Amino acid sequence: MDNARRDALLASMKKINKDQGNFMDFAENSGDTEVIKTGIESLDKFCGGFKRGAFSIAWGASGCGKSTLCLQAVANAQKNNQSCVYIDMERSFDKDRAKELGVNLQDLVLVSNCQTAEEALTIIRTLSKDKVCDFLVLDSIQAMSPKGEQENKGKERDLAEAEMAQLARTLSKFFRIVSPDVFKAKMAVLLIGQCRMSLGSFIVRADLSGGEALKHWSYQTIFMRRGQGADAPSQKVVEYYLDPDSKLHHESKNIPCGFDAVLKLTKTKSSTSAVENSEIHLPFTFEKGFVESLENQEEQIKIDGTDEEKVIIRAKLIEKGVLKDETVVLENSTEPTLVPPTIETNERPFTKEEIKALDKPKKKGRPKKENK
């Protein structure tokens, strides 16, 4: 571009910026792309982070780790002094679980009483206009019910009535109106989506419901699923029990402590992420969510038997130096029998999934003969 034409263009840009309040400038002067990271190094390298000023989607079947991924991203954003809002349309937010994953509940704004989809979307619009939020999570898209689906001219609709594509039309209008405000506010919006089964060509496949506008406006879309059971992370557990002669025995087992999470990048506009349709496998543990690896994970201890036997076993383990604490917390019991621990041990409560994986050991040895 010659100098005369460039000067003319600069004059036009200056006039437009003054009259319309727009900010026109050459692309080389634009800043670097800002993202919200999850704090999971391999995942952040894979997807490049959730872009600020744009919409991202994480979707999949139930139980594949979508909400956990969002909570871990919220926890990491809070560590960087970024304000976060969580819109819980499914009314399933567990504050204890969120706290375990590192979320600061005092700083997290939780919205859990939206009746219609329009109320939730209006909240997003207001927050973006006021530029007061850095990271927003909507859980989930399919849980939103448009007002037109619930009412017709102020009267409550019957559940038997059919409303075609109400949510899709509402979302399409929302993206067209709100996307400029989200961009100006540099607010990263992460939408959680549920999958539906659609009939393709000779096969049944998972698909994202909610309309084509979701796919069009998404900066990046991540499909999540569970991998092979053989690839699931396992935890080494040492189980202690008494035989009929009250001798202490132990047995080592490897039990599943999570599942292999597979994340597929079905769409991306990021130059720093992996290419589209790439996959990454990450270990997901029921206790800590997504982790990098399980190499440094310590073995856990399980004590089996009656309440009386458990007390005896703990006393013997403390004597042998296996346990460093005298606290007795009986499994399947609601209250501890002694004071809370003051020294950390490698014993912890097991999840329901881990308990199912543990087979109750048989008592070994011969019982004592009774004296006649």
Residue 278: inside a domain:
no
Distance CA 167, CA 189 (A): 18
User: What's phi and psi for 236, nearest 5 deg?
Assistant: -80, 125
| Structural domains in the chain (count) | 1
Residue 300: inside a domain:
no
Output DSSP code: residue 311.
H
Q: Is 367 helix (H, G, I), strand (E, B) or coil?
A: coil
Question: Residue 332 — very low, low, confident or very high, per pLDDT cuts 50/70/90?
Answer: very low
CATH number at residue 70: 3.40.50.300
- Long-range contacts of residues 212-217, Cβ cutoff 8 Å, at least 24 apart: 212/168, 212/172, 213/168, 213/171, 213/172, 213/175, 214/57, 214/141, 214/171, 215/267, 216/175, 217/55, 217/175, 217/179
Domain hosting 168: range is: 32-152+163-226
Residue 142: inside a domain:
yes
Contact 90, 143 (CB under 8 A): yes
Name which of 72-76, 147-151, 346-350 the model is least confident about.
346-350
At residue 117, does pLDDT exceed 70? Answer: yes
Contact 213, 199 (CB under 8 A): no
* Structure confidence by residue, pLDDT tens digits, 191-218: 999 988 766 666 667 788 888 999 999 9
Name which of 22-26, 35-39, 91-95, 195-199 the model is least confident about.
195-199
Residue 39: inside a domain:
yes
Residue 179: inside a domain:
yes
Q: Which residue has the higher pLDDT, 35 or 253?
A: 35
Question: Residue 23 — very low, low, confident or very high, per pLDDT cuts 50/70/90?
Answer: confident
Strand runs labelled E in 147-228: 151-152, 155-156, 188-199, 204-208, 218-226
What per-residue confidence (pLDDT) applies to 261?
96
Residue 19: inside a domain:
no
pTM for the complete prediction? 0.80
Residue 232: inside a domain:
no
